[in-house]
Amino acid sequence: MPGFQNWNSMGIYQRSLAGFDVETIIDSRLLPGTCMNCHSFSRNNPDNMVLHLRESYGGTILFTGGNLEKLNTRTEKMFASAAFPYWHPSGKYIVFSVNRVNQIFHATGPHRATALDLKSDIVLYDIEKREMIIPPGLSGADKFETFPCFSPDGKKLYYCSADSVRMPAGFDSIKYSLCSVSFDEKTGEFSNETDTLISSSRTGKSISIPRVSPDGKY
C-alpha cells in the first residue's frame, strides 16, 4: 500500500535501550482518522511533551508539570494550527511552524505524490502565559518559514526559509535556505535581524529539518 494511504495508521512508541522492550505511548486506533506523528520532548525529558494531532481529533496535546491538556493553537491571525514543534531549553516556550499542507499526484514523470506547503510561518507559544506569539520577522506572505529549532543555549533559533512562490506550480523549483535569528528568553522576543547561514541560491540545494548537536558544536 502506498505510504500516503497510511497517514492515519500509526503510533508513537518508546524502546528500552537495555532490553529493547517496546511500549506504546499512543496508537492511532484509539483515535480513528487521526494523524499523530508531530511530537517533541523538552531536552529529551518525557515529563514534558507536546503532541500534535491532525484531522478527526485535531489539536495539540501538552503534557507538562504533571498536567495534560489539549490546546487550540490557532488564533484569529493564523491561517492554520501550529505543528512541527521544538522546545526552548528553558522549558518555557515551544516554537512551532504553521503550515498549510497540500498533496499533489503526478500523472507523468518520476514522482507519484508530493506533499508541499502552500504557505508557512513560525510562531512561539509561551507556556506560562498561555499565549501564542507571532514574530513579525518570521511570518508574512513573502517567505515560507518552517522547521524551527533552538540552539542548546536557547539564544538562537534555526529554521528553513524560502522565497514565496505560487504553489503547486512552483513545487519543483522552490529551495530552502538555512537561517537563524537571536532570541531573548527573558522577553520572549526575537531579533528583527535574521542571518542566512547557508543560501540555497548559492548552493543550488535545499535545507530540510535542521538540528544542532546537544553540545552546540555541530
At 72 the pLDDT is 86
The mean of the pLDDT values for the chain is 87
Instruction: Among 45, 72, 99, give the residue marking a domain's end.
Output: 72
Instruction: Among 28, 57, 72, give the residue marking a domain's end.
Output: 72
Looking at the fold, whether 131 and 44 belong to one and the same domain comes out as: no
Ordered strands of the 45-55 beta sheet = 34-42, 45-55, 59-64, 67-71
Looking at the fold, whether 46 and 84 belong to one and the same domain comes out as: no
Looking at the fold, whether 104 and 66 belong to one and the same domain comes out as: no
Looking at the fold, whether 138 and 188 belong to one and the same domain comes out as: yes
| Rounded alpha-carbon distances, angstroms, from residue 74 to 79, 105, 122, 159 | 8, 28, 12, 21
**124 close to 95: Cβ distance less than 8 angstroms:** yes
* Alpha helices, H only, the chain: 200-203
> What's the pLDDT tens digit per position in 28-54?
888 777 777 788 889 888 889 898 887
> What's the pLDDT tens digit per position in 111-136?
777 777 888 999 999 999 999 999 98
Query: Could you give the number of structural domains in the chain?
Result: 2
Looking at the fold, whether 67 and 89 belong to one and the same domain comes out as: no
Looking at the fold, whether 196 and 122 belong to one and the same domain comes out as: yes
Looking at the fold, whether 115 and 12 belong to one and the same domain comes out as: no
**Range(s) of the domain holding residue 7:** 1-72
